[in-house]
Structure 1
Amino acid sequence: MGTLPERLRAAGFPVVEITPTEGGAIAEGGIALLADGRRVFAKTVDGPVGDLFEVEATGLATLRAEGGATVPAVRHASAHLLVLDVCQPRPDTPEFWAALGRRTAALHTSTVGDRFGWHRDGWLGRMRQDNTWDTDGHRFFAERRLLRWLPEPGAEAALDREDRRALERLCAALPELVPAQPPSLTHGDLWSQNVLATAEGAPVLIDPAVSHTWPEVDLAMFWCSPRPPEADAFFAAYGEAAPLRDGWRERMPLLYLRELLSALAHEDDTWGAAAMVRRLVAPFRRR
């Protein structure tokens, strides 16, 4: 399995065998059987990755300590290796997704603050997530979550000048499109593939891109990305625990722009991200 076994052994994990796992877009991952019978999940990345794994480990710890989320315990985090406790496949039942809805509502309502950002920059995929503190949520979302992607070569290639100008006008209109709301601690990449389960079947969150921002950004990621039909129970349960603001469904595609632009920057447009961006910015084109 490439470099993963040797990096595990160098970190003191006596590997017997590794079963590769699927789903990682940028990392080589697998479940490692150790000589003492334990199993751990491990992943590594070749090439320069900076503090990718250290930030992920800190994000998991923050979600647990500040928001009460269930996350896998971190056994090792270094420049090229992350080792976590093994999680179980999620059961796609309405009850499971409703439990996640209630837990996500608890995460958001228990961490309400007055600043947008985080104490350190993070990662979304293989690119930096700018978490510089700001007290203005509309400015933070415009500059750090949308316009931030435009200079990336992938986004430059996918969007023409009129697309970019329309996006800039949309950003200027954000105070009219998204009601002012305080920030909360968010997972930041909350879609179905980043949800696993404990041995008892409770939801576990993995692969965060943590920051303090509008809770609806987490909801938009979950609403707009692929999910099983049973996951509709998430939104009903969330709304019972933390009432949703009027018009929230209409705002979901707008807030999902962050993910669409990130996909373009990562040159991952096999699913029509550029076309979706153009539809969303179309009302802001000059005629």
Structure 2
Amino acid sequence: MIPEVIKQFVYSLHNHKISGFSSVPGGSINNAFRYYAGKEEFFLKFNQEVEGIIEKEVDGLKAISKLNCISTPKVIAFQKVESYELLVLPFIKEGIKTSRAWEAFGEQLAEMHSVPVPYYGWHQNNFIGSLPQSNEQTDNFPSFFINQRLRPQIQLAHQNTYFSSKQLNLFDVLFQKLPEILPDTKPSLVHGDLWSGNFMIDEVGIPYLIDPSIHYNYRESDLAFTYLFGGFDSKFYEAYNQHFPLEAGFAERIPLYNIYPLLVHLNIFGTGYLGSVMNNLYQYVR
């Protein structure tokens, strides 16, 4: 159900020319609906549970859009109404993921990653899923990866009693090894939560990024995320690598970067992800 205060805002936004709402999948965090205003179709999402999460999403969509490398849905309206945050976007009808669409997606993501940025982090903290994500500005990638990504999630998992003392010590061993594992890096604007549910191809083959967890990071972390749950065509990777070649040894570093999202899933969904976290960790330390 849509709260009445949200309905009233949306009706006013479109001069009351609305024909019905229908529920659509919006993930596990937000409520999501589609509706018509005249002949145009829109997407509405709202949240009451995680304060600031939609505001940070809007910040991310606008940051990607400003680079003019890859499309994002236009923000029609963002509003705080009583205890709710709501976002209105155009409703994007999904099309067929053709080879050319995958190639365009790879090229455009590579273009976004190739834009120089000044540091690792972001101008504010935001979210990864429903969890807070720290983005303190950092010049050194290993330091950023350890202190702004892994440590907060490890500490939360420790509070939840997911790790033994021996397992916690293995993370300290990993931290010591990171300078020799990681290549020389430069930061890029990254989506930050790049699984197959967070991009779309529209009816004419245009790729869109949605639901960003935006920040400046080493670009390999974005690419590694695409391997976590799969769903990305080989044409995507070929086009990306042709446009902005990856550093040697990237494939061996994929499990390293994905320790972070696996820790996030552990802390959100529970011990079903503990084995995956440890399997990735064991590839670098014993």
Question: Distance in 1 between the 2:99 and 2:268 partners?
Answer: 33
Q: CA deviation at 1:169?
A: 1.8
What is the CA-CA distance between 1:75 and the residue it aligns to? 1.1
Residue aligning to 1:7 = 6
Which residue does the alignment assign to 1:30? 33
SS at match of 1:149: helix
Counterpart for residue 277 of structure 2: 277
SS in structure 2 of the partner of residue 157 of structure 1: coil
Q: 1:161: Cα distance to partner?
A: 2.0
Q: Which residue of 2 aligns with 1:76?
A: 77
**Residue 226 of structure 2 aligns with which residue?**
222
In structure 2, runs of 5+ residues without a counterpart are none
Question: Does the CA-based 8 Å contact 1:154-1:267 persist in structure 2?
Answer: no
Cα deviation for residue 277 of structure 1 reads: 1.1
Partner deviation per Cα, 1:117-141 (whole Å, 9 max, x = no partner): 1111111111111111000111001
Contact 1:150 1:156 in 2 (8 A): no
d(CA) in 1 for partners of 2:241, 2:113: 12
- 1:211 aligned residue: 215
How far apart, CA to CA, are the structure 2 residues paired with 1:244 and 1:267? Answer: 32
What aligned pairs does 1:188-199 form with structure 2 within 5 A after superposition?
188-199=192-203
Query: How high is the TM-score relative to the length of structure 2?
Result: 0.90
1:37-63 Cα distance to aligned partner (Å, 9 max, x none): 32111111233x222111111111110
- Equivalents in 1 of 2:41, 2:158: separation in Å? 38
Change (3 A) 1:281 1:153: closer
Whole-angstrom CA distance in 1 between matches of 2:218 and 2:92:
28
Uncovered stretches (5+) of structure 1, i.e. residues with no partner: none
Matched, 1:234 2:236: yes
State which of 103, 109, 112 in structure 1 corresponds to 2:108: 103
Shift of 1:268: 4.9
The 1:200–1:126 alpha-carbon spacing in structure 2 relative to 1, beyond 3 Å, is same
What is the match of residue 54 of structure 1? 55
Counterpart AA for 1:242: F
Post-superposition shift, 1:98?
A: 1.6
Residue in structure 2 matched with residue 168 of structure 1 by the alignment: 172
- Whether 1:92 and 2:97 are equivalent positions in the alignment is yes
Gap change, CA 1:268 and 1:234, over 3 Å in 2: farther
**2:259 paired with 1:257:** yes
Inter-partner Cα distance in structure 1 for 2:129 and 2:217: 18
CA RMSD of aligned residues (A): 1.9
CA apart distance, 1:224: 2.1
One-letter amino acid matched to 1:106: E
Percent identity for Structure 1 against Structure 2: 27
- Asked whether the 8 Å contact 1:96–1:201 carries over to 2, the reply is yes
**What is the one-letter code of the residue matched to 1:25?**
S
Q: Across the two proteins, how many residue pairs are aligned to each other?
A: 277
Q: Quick one: distance in 1 between partners of 2:95 and 2:152?
A: 34
- Matched residues in 2 for 1:81 and 1:130: separation? 23
TM-score (norm 1): 0.90
